[in-house]
């Protein structure tokens, strides 16, 4: 199927269907972040697929989620221990 037809079909999906389609990306991001906190070692995520499959958008979504999670982790650490708190990972 041509890329422009796939995009149209994707854009025609109702909002809940779009959320379900993105759910694996968020789960992968959460697993990566949790592993980062547990192991304190660098993490890698491989995003692959055919041309037009949404690799760039998935990468942007994953990075936005990881940024949000990291900020929430820092905010939680500051709330618990005051402003001198050290987050559980280095920025």
Query: Per-residue pLDDT tens for 15-72?
Result: 554 455 567 888 889 899 999 999 999 999 999 999 988 899 889 989 999 999 999 8
Task: Specify the pLDDT at position 84.
Answer: 55
| Cα-trace Rg, the chain | 17
Task: Specify the pLDDT at position 79.
Answer: 83
Rounded Cα distance between 12 and 8, Å, is 6
Sign of CA dihedral 33, 39, 42, 45: negative
Q: Taking the CB of residue 25, how many other CB atoms lie within 10 A of it?
A: 19
Task: Specify the pLDDT at position 1.
Answer: 45
């Amino acid at each position: 199927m041509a890329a422009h037809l796939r995009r149209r079909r994707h854009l025609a999906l109702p909002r809940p269907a779009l959320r379900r389609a993105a759910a694996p990306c968020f789960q992968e991001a959460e697993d990566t972040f949790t592993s980062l906190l547990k192991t304190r070692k660098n993490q890698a995520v491989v995003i692959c697929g055919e041309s037009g499959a949404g690799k760039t958008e998935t990468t942007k979504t994953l990075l936005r989620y990881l940024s949000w999670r990291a900020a929430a982790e820092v905010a939680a650490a500051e709330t618990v221990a005051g402003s001198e708190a050290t987050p559980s990972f280095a920025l």
